[in-house]
Structure 1
Amino acid sequence: MMWLTADAHRRWLESETDRLLDFGKHGRDPRGGFGYLDVDGRIDTSRDVELWITCRMTHIYALGAMLGRPGCAAYVDHGVDSLLGRLRDDEHGGWFAAIGADGPTNDAKEAYGHAFVILAAASATAAGRPGAAALLEEAVEVHSTRFWDDEAGMSRESFSRDWSEEEQYRGVNANMHTLEAYLAAADVLGDHALLDRAIRIVTRVVDSYGRGNDWRLPEHFDIDWNPLLDFNEDEPAHPFRPYGATVGHALEWSRLTLQASFALQQSGRHAPEWMVPAARELYAAAVRDGWNVDGHAGFVYTTDWEGAPVVRERMHWVAAEAIGAAAVLWRATRSPEYAEQYQQWWDYVGEHLLDAEKGSWHHELSTENEPSGTVWPGKPDIYHALQATLLPRLPVTPALAPSLAAGNLDRP
């Protein structure tokens, strides 16, 4: 039996979607935004409300609302209200990276978080929630004005609160989520200019940097986009900027490359021939370098530039992205290897990552697949895991929210 086409597996995916949605509801902060969840699913009060978590949870509950889950719409509205209120910088524009009880605790303007504002707003707009369309318009305008570098065809990284000081760094992680956000916004708005930007990002990162580095994607660059291959060598387990090649990001880029290719075709344009083969190469390299390479099941977090493991902890989001990439690759190619690996990745999740006792997934495991927290303590949000339950049930494109709005769930 092939799980990807089995009604019984889809029913299980649906039940897991609901389990995750129930867990994440505990993250709503009554003061505004969504908090960082601990292993028990309670807000970790030692942490501030962060922009990226608030946006990701707003996006997820927009998906829940479009799945017809009662109560999810209120969580979308809570997120939208927070992005139009508590997290928004009314003086200088844009959104604070983090806020506490008395106001902003990190007032930097970060491309990573601002990309997720676009994603959250696009999904909330697809769900028809009040205020979402205005939020999306503002988010795209801020990103276009402040972050988008048209000469480079990439996003800048971060600025001070008043935009007067720019970080002398460029990162692929923020650009990956900018690509994701632009694809979603282009679908919701019918904006081909945003799709064109998305194609420019994926072309430079995948067809240039990935192809030129044996499909191990450089993550860190100077302001002129020269790769910094030894960046954070002394802090290899950094949660956002780790040293070396990040296995999960290669899987994520593989999926996004396919989605960008199909989005071009859906818009009536020709997709470059390199895109599907490159997505397959990225995925293959990530599996080769990352899966079961140290005598234990699971994907390692990072490798060096020769493919040797560096940080060996198993992150839940890497397995989730492997599932999503395999599902999308199978839909795009119908190659049986992806269907087989899709089942393999879910078997690993079922054996090691699903937390039947406390809910959600363990966000990090040790090399021996025991719960750990060296890089990602707690269970901050449900974004990666929940998307892994929906990507197998939807076509390659459009993006998740507009695809649900179009009624594409479980269509052959």
Structure 2
Amino acid sequence: MDNTLPLPPGPHSEPGFWLDTSEHRTWLKDQAMRQLAFFSASCRTEPGFFILDHDGSPLPNTLQELHTTTRLVHSYALGHLIGFQGAERIIDHGMAYLNSHHKDRDHTGYLWALDGDNIKDDRKLAYGHVFVLLAASSAKQIGHPEADKLLTEVRDVLDTHFWDDEAGLYCDEWNRDWTPFSTYRGMNANMHGVEALLAAFEATGDEIYLTRAGRILDFFIGRIAPAENWRLPEHFTSDWQIDRGYAGDPMFRPAGTTPGHSFELGRLQLQHWDLSGRPNSGAPESSRRLIEQALKDAWLAGGGMAYTLDFGGRVANASRFWWPVAEAIGAVGTLIALDKRQEDEIWYRNLWTFANETFVDHQHGGWFPAVDESGDIVTSIFDGKPDIYHSLQACLFPLSGRLSRMVPL
């Protein structure tokens, strides 16, 4: 790998691997526990969750989106596995809110956004529903009494309305009553679909989840990535042709390619390969190529990952958000777990050093969501600290030392 990042003096140039040291592993678990403690304040006394300000105080915004609810359930299921006291309270709170507010009793499925007791956005999105599957699967892993019911219900919705068996992919969006909303097809929902399908396989042992995850991976990593110089276009037409002119929401559906998603999908393919019994295939090599290309393309002078690239790998949006760095840590940590290479260790140390010096809030806990080119906190893009999901997994995936996801540490 051509790594042009200059190495700072000190522990970065020392031989060996941080993950082999008790000091680093203890630090990772401590970081995870601090995040879990910080986001525990998300629980409202009434149904739903707060978004937290930088200091951990609740923001007045009462909007609740489906991915926020489900990611908290999933994250605190991971917290339960590492012994965080109080995880069950947040899991129970999230599972109850999914049933009482997000669940659409008139048309089936799960509503995207609520504002108090009122529906704010009634669309039915594959992106949201695969996160329901992830939450249900993680809850089942820890024995939550409502997990089986939720798993059965969301699987039925995904099978009925989102899964395109001919393509082997998830379509994206419907109106509340399941009438067509658009012909958009996207990589993001399918990538998180792989994540949820693998979690469901780990929770249930049902091979259909593993098979479907493999079909999605075959399309994006087996077909699209090699043809696109190991970069992943985000947006597609209804017949799954790359839509190079698409420019939707600049935050959630930006034009071009999003290297942070290459980290996620590369790691997920390694997980799928591991759960499939490590067959004699090219999965480790193609995962590595995808991850390495994103590292080379997206790493910015001074540190951090560019948010988006054009189709040739040039930086399109240089915003430095927390989540691509968190996902790069998880991806590189997984490469190290599979095959210890010093070049991966260089990346791992530099990614964590940058995250620790810029994103990690050492005073209050959690990660700041965005920094500028000087490493100063940017407050104009996100309200407070919107998420524990990415940064928690950055600690736990490397710490597990395994390619599969839901395992005791």
Shorter-chain TM-score bucket reads: over 0.9
Q: Distance in 2 between matches of 1:214 and 1:100?
A: 43
Query: Secondary structure in 2 aligned to 1:89?
Result: coil
2 CA distance for matches of 1:84 and 1:102?
Answer: 13
Match among 273, 295, 316 for residue 261 of structure 1: 273
Aligned letter for 2:275? A
Residues 141-220 of structure 1 mapped to structure 2, 5 A cutoff: 141-220=156-235
Q: Equivalent of 1:83, from 90, 98, 103?
A: 98
Q: Tell me the equivalent position of 2:282.
A: 274
* Pairing 1:2–2:17 present: yes
1:252 aligns with 2:264: yes
Which position in structure 1 is the counterpart of 2:391? 385
Change (3 A) 1:396 1:150: farther
Paired residue type of 1:307 = G
> In 2, distance between residues paired with 1:375 and 1:177?
23
**1:64 matches 2:79:** yes
Correspondence for 2:251: 239
Matched pairs, number? 394
CA distance in 2, matches of 1:200, 1:257: 11
Indicate conservation of the 8 Å contact 1:326/1:341, yes or no: yes
Deviation readout 1:204-248 (Å, 9 max, x if unpaired): 011111111011100001111111112118x6xx22111111111
Which residue, 83, 96, 102 being the options, matches 2:117?
A: 102
Q: 1:54 aligns with which of 65, 69, 72?
A: 69
* Contact map agreement 2:334 2:403 (CA 8 A) in 1: no
Moved more, 177-186 or 304-313: 304-313
Give the distance between the partners of 2:130 and 2:140, measured in 1 at CA: 15
Conserved in 1, the CA contact under 8 Å of 2:101 and 2:117?
no
Q: Write the distance in 2 (CA, Å) between the matches of 1:80 and 1:212.
A: 41
CA–CA distance in 1 between the matches of 2:60 and 2:308? Answer: 30
| Match for residue 36 of structure 1 among 32, 51, 55 | 51
Q: How far does residue 375 in structure 1 lie from its aligned partner after superposition?
A: 4.1
Q: Which residue of 2 aligns with 1:367?
A: 373
CA distance, structure 1, for counterparts of residue 208 and residue 81 of structure 2: 26
RMSD of aligned alpha carbons: 1.5
TM-score by length of 1: 0.92
3-state secondary structure, aligned to 1:161? coil
Match of 1:316 in 2: 322
Structure 1, unpaired ranges of 5+: none
The TM-score with structure 2 as length reference comes to: 0.93
Distance 1:341 1:67, change over 3 A: same
Give, in whole Å, the separation in 2 of the partners of 1:224 and 1:42: 46
Contact 1:77 1:130 in 2 (8 A): no
In structure 1, give the amino acid aligned to 2:97: S
Query: Secondary structure, in 3 states, of the residue corresponding to 2:253?
Result: coil
Please tell me the residue identity of whatever aligns with 1:244.
G
Identity of aligned residues (%): 37
Deviation at 1:374, TM superposition (A): 4.8
Equivalent residues of 2:114, 2:120 under 8 A apart: yes
Q: Deviations over 1:291-314 (max 9, x none)?
A: 12xx32211111111211111111
Query: CA separation in 1, counterparts of 2:200 and 2:184?
Result: 26
Alignment-mate amino acid for residue 240 of structure 1: F
Per the alignment, do residues 240 and 168 of structure 1 end up closer, same or farther by CA in structure 2, a change over 3 Å counting? same
Question: 4+ residue runs of structure 1 moved beyond 6 angstroms?
Answer: none
- What 5-or-longer segments of structure 2 have no aligned partner? 1-15
Instruction: Name the structure 1 match of 2:35.
Output: 20
User: CA–CA distance in 2 between the matches of 1:102 and 1:193?
Assistant: 36
- Partner AA of 2:337 in structure 1: R
